[in-house]
Structures are given as structure tokens and as C-alpha cells.
Chains A and B, each alone.
Chain A
Amino acid sequence: MKYKIIIEGGFTGISRKYEGDMTVSELKAKSLFSALHTDDKTRSNIADGQTYDISLDDNHKKYQAVFNEKNVPDEIRELIAQVKQ
């Protein structure tokens, strides 16, 4: 599965971009795509909150969603931790 994660804003104001390909089980891919459905597009007024722009593509499905500090699903937090390593 291809992924592109852009983390913007925050106290540091430094953007981070993580892009690549990873192998995930069908079950895991399903749970990630499902997590992206919870996208909340309302603007966050959290001072120094980061925004998380997530794009996933497994050749069959393409999903993109933007989260703020308060609504990042656990699955996406785990994915971010994984790609940062």
C-alpha cells in the first residue's frame, strides 16, 4: 500500500512529509481505509495543533483525509508511528 502523510503546523511550524510503500494485511488495510472515513473537515481552532493529511492507495482504493489534533483515529496514529521509524 502506498502512503503519503503530511503533518503541518504545530508549535514548531515545521512540516513533515512521509511517503512510501508498505506491506499490510487485507484486514489492516480495511481498518485504515475505514479510519479515513471519519475525516472531519471543520477547521480546527486549536492553537499550535497539527493537521494530518493522509493519503492511502492500495491499487484498488484511494483514500485521502485530513485530521486535526483532536480527531486523529488510533489506527492513523499507529500508522504515523510506524512510518516515522
Chain B
Amino acid sequence: MCSKHQCYIVPPFILEELAKRGNIACKKALNDTQRINQKRKTTLNNLLQRSVADGNGDRLVFDSENQYEQRQSLIRKEGDDIVVDTVVNEAYDTSGFVRKYFRETFGLNSMDGNGMDIISNVHYGIDYNNAYWDGDEMTYGDGDGLEFTNFASAIDVVAHELMHGVTQFLANLEYVSQSGALNEHFSDVFATIIKQKYLKQSISEADWLIGDTVVTDNFPGVGIRSMMSPGTANDFDSQPDHMDNYYSGSQDNQGVHINSGIPNKAFYLCCLEIGIDDCALIWFETLSALWRTAQFNDVLEIMLEVTSKLSEIGRVSERATEAVTKSFAAVGLKGVSV
């Protein structure tokens, strides 16, 4: 057994190997170490000195006032009444919906499980066509109004960004190449699930699009990505839906938003087989068992183990292992059934 303190002095490559072999303590230590190292590099805050007490996942919504600054002006915090700015209210409400989903479905208290504050920055920059998670908080642009609009009000965008936070604390998937594509994949998966819950849609009613409400009528497409048909959401969409078309170039951190189309399609196919709630549990438990450098094949291997266990105890359909195997095989990923 690897204790937390022992793990911190073990080199990362050994921790990774032990994590791959199922040592959860090493996986956690590795994830924590990497995350803290990143934080040291990117900010000079005093996180390490701060005692960690459980919070309530309080929401704080800041207005960047069209500057490229975060935490510029606090407009609404947990429990406050609605404010004049509807974008602030929508960011507050959508992040609350996402928080509620994770709490009620998986017993997860905010992104880190310890109730960290959920901080959103809206009206970031001028005509800013983006939303991002920086390791601590979410930041949303208003869009340029020509092709994109209002990222903070879209439930799937908010769920996607917040999920990056969950992934950071559960597996800390490195944001490059295949592990980065998996990071994107898990964000799209839970964005889709939460969007369908929010809209009270069944899987047959859902459009399986990501970002359909942030594109304008002038935008050449119906959304940013499609889980059902990767590569078809817009004229720029180059997502593959099979390993045969895997992108191996250097753009986009080696294709993190591109190759995520492959597992995204597998997720969609699996939902058709066993339903979205079983898939949600399988994907969440799989993510919890992953590590920083996990690759597509690792995910399938872990997912088959996780699914088999969940199936045995009746938490998911008895057809789930077969469904996972079949769905991943359809996108060119083959695993050995356990």
C-alpha cells in the first residue's frame, strides 16, 4: 500500500506505472502532485499553506466588464437575489444545475469533492469567442455577435467547463494529445448528459450537439460539435468518428478538440444500447480510475473492468459490458473483455 506521504517522494513515472496497475493511493498522489506543480507554475498563490476545509460549492459570479481580467467585480454570490444582468443570473443558474447534478447523481460536492467555490467570470474581453477553465475558475466571453454569442448562458458550455474542473481533480488528464482528447471527451460527455437533463429530453429527442445555442444564424453550422455525428456540426468541424481518421498533427494541443470525436461517438452508441444514465455512471466511475497520461486504450480497458463490476452488483444493465465493447469497436478501439 502506498501512503500519500510516501508517494510524494516517488518519481512520477513510477507513480504512473503503479496507478496503471490500480494503486488508487498512488494515482491520487500523482494527480495531486501534478496539479499542485501546475498551480505553482501558473500562480503564486498560497494554496499549499491554506488549510483545506470542506465548503458548500458556493457560486460566485464576477463581471469582467469587457476587460481581459478575472474576478473584476463580484455581482452575485450564493444565496443572493437575482440581479439586473441576465447573463450573470444565467451563469449562476446553469452552474447551480450542474452542481446539483453531480451532487445528487454521484454524491460529488462541487468539482473537487470538497465543496470548492464555483467561480464564474462573465463578459470577459471584447467580442471574445470562447469559454475556458483555468484550473481554478470558469471564464466566458459574450461572443462577437456575428458568429458566436453568450457562452455563459449555455447549459452545455457551462457543464463542459465545470467538468474540466471535475476531471482535474479526479484524473488530471494531461491537456495534450490523447489524454487531452480524453479530457475534452469527458467534458463533452457530461455536457451532453446534463443538457439532456436540463431540457428534460430523452435520448431520441436530444440533438446530441454541443454549443448549438452559442452559434448565431450566420455561423456555417448548427453547433460546435456533434456527439452523434462527429465532423458534421459545422463547416470547420474536422472531428473523426473512427481511429482510421485519427488526427496526428500538432494543431490544437495535438488535436484535443479533434480526436475527442472518436470516444464521443462511442459514448453516443453506448447510450443507444443501455441508456444515458447507465453510461453516465460507467463514464464517471471510469474517469475516477484514470490517471494523468491515460490513452484511449487505457480508457477502454478500465471501462470494461468498471462496467463488469457495476454490472455484477446490478448498478448498470447486464448488457453493459457487451454494449461498451461493441460501441468502442465501432470506432476502431478493441479491448479484451473481462
Contact = CB atoms under 8 A, between A and B. Distances in A.
Interface of A: 8-15, 42-43, 45-50, 69-70, 72, 74, 77, 81, 84
A37 B161 CA distance: 31
A14 B132 contact: no
Nearest to A42: B41
Contacts of A84: 127, 144
* Chain B CB within 10 A, most for which of A43, A47, A69: A47
Contacts of B148: 12
Interface residues of B, number: 39
Contacts of B127: 81, 84
Interface of B: 38, 41-42, 68, 125-127, 129-135, 144, 148, 151, 157, 160-161, 164, 168, 174-176, 183-184, 187, 211, 224-225, 234, 236, 251-253, 256-258
A69 B252 contact: no
Given A14-B234, A77-B125, 18 more contacts: A8-B252, A9-B252, A10-B132, A11-B157, A11-B161, A12-B257, A43-B176, A45-B175, A46-B134, A46-B135, A46-B175, A47-B161, A48-B131, A69-B130, A69-B132, A70-B134, A77-B68, A84-B144
Given A42-B41, A47-B187, A77-B125, A10 B236 contact: no
21 contacts: A8-B252, A9-B257, A10-B130, A11-B131, A13-B225, A13-B258, A45-B135, A45-B174, A45-B175, A46-B134, A48-B130, A48-B161, A48-B164, A49-B132, A50-B130, A50-B132, A69-B134, A70-B134, A72-B68, A77-B68, A84-B144
Contacts of A10: 129-130, 132
A81 B131 CA distance: 17
A24 B175 CA distance: 37
